[in-house]
Chain A
Amino acid sequence: KNEVEQSPQNLTAQEGEFITINCSYSVGISALHWLQQHPGGGIVSLFMLSSGKKKHGRLIATINIQEKHSSLHITASHPRDSAVYICAVRSGYGGSQGNLIFGKGTKLSVKP
């Protein structure tokens, strides 16, 4: 079993829909990252959070430490949101605190 699991693997939505991408992890963490990778390959960090909720524009990220679960929400989705969304966790223990463990990503396609 992977230490970081994302669902769904693929998601197709119509423009304007509310989107949720889920991430579950099995290790103790000090932080969780949400990354966005566009078809050209560039990766952008969207959020880094260790508790609660963060919002940036139409994007919202939440984390529940007790349940080891995080969600990324996109409100009023737009075709330009089409990308792969990657969840990554940073272990809170030991010497490998620079080591991010990545989920396999969720490929989102938003149709006009």
Chain B
Amino acid sequence: GAGVSQSPSNKVTEKGKDVELRCDPISGHTALYWYRQSLGQGLEFLIYFQGNSAPDKSGLPSDRFSAERTGGSVSTLTIQRTQQEDSAVYLCASSLGGPAYEQYFGPGTRLTVT
């Protein structure tokens, strides 16, 4: 079946603009995760959605970052007033249940803020 998909694959934006990154999880997966991988840095947790529960936003680096998950499926990560330090690959993953289940990663969105 289809894996996790993300769009766009690449996004170049000017500093100060808002961007939206989309994630389509595997159908039936109730858990969805957003991560960030900056150049030369390791992966960093951003936010976690599980079913209808309140999301775990503990990894969001600032209030310019927000995410939604509509209908328990598609998720959008929004970055407002982008800064150059926001340049990174943003990865989405989903799992069948909660954290006890294997995570399946999408191909990522490479964001470049100029």
Q: Is the CB of A96 within 8 A of B107?
A: no
Q: Is the CB of A41 within 8 A of B56?
A: no
Q: Which of B41, B48, B103 contacts A99, CB < 8 Å?
A: B48
Interface residues on A, range: 20 to 34
Take A44-B105, A45-B105, A90-B99 as given contacts and tell me if A98 and B31 are in contact as well, using a CB distance cutoff of 8 Å: yes
List, in ascending order, chain B residues with CB within 8 A of A112's CB: none
The minimal Cβ–Cβ distance linking A85 to chain B, given in whole angstroms, is 12
Q: Is the CB of B42 within 8 A of A86?
A: yes
Q: 1/0 contact trace for B70-112 toward A, CB 8 Å?
A: 0000000000000000000101010000111011110110000
Complex: A94 Cα to B42 Cα, angstroms: 23
Whether B50 sits at the interface, judged by CB under 8 Å, is yes
Complex: A103 Cα to B59 Cα, angstroms: 16
Q: 1/0 contact trace for A25-61 toward B, CB 8 Å?
A: 0000011010100000111110010000000000000
List, in ascending order, chain B residues with CB within 8 A of A100's CB: 33, 35, 43, 45, 99
Q: Is the CB of B91 within 8 A of A43?
A: yes
Q: Is the CB of B108 within 8 A of A105?
A: no
Whether A108 sits at the interface, judged by CB under 8 Å, is no
List, in ascending order, chain A residues with CB within 8 A of B107's CB: 41-42
Q: Is the CB of A105 within 8 A of B56?
A: no
Q: Is the CB of A88 within 8 A of B105?
A: no
23 contacts across the A-B interface (CB closer than 8 A): A30-B99, A31-B99, A42-B105, A42-B107, A43-B91, A43-B93, A43-B105, A44-B105, A48-B102, A86-B42, A86-B43, A95-B56, A98-B33, A98-B45, A98-B56, A98-B98, A98-B99, A99-B45, A99-B56, A100-B35, A102-B44, A102-B45, A104-B41
B interface vs A, CB < 8 Å? 31, 33, 35, 41-45, 48, 50, 56, 58-59, 89, 91, 93, 98-100, 102-105, 107-108
A interface vs B, CB < 8 Å? 30-31, 33, 35, 41-45, 48, 86, 88, 90, 95-105
List, in ascending order, chain A residues with CB within 8 A of B41's CB: 104
Complex: A97 Cα to B97 Cα, angstroms: 12
The minimal Cβ–Cβ distance linking B91 to chain A, given in whole angstroms, is 7
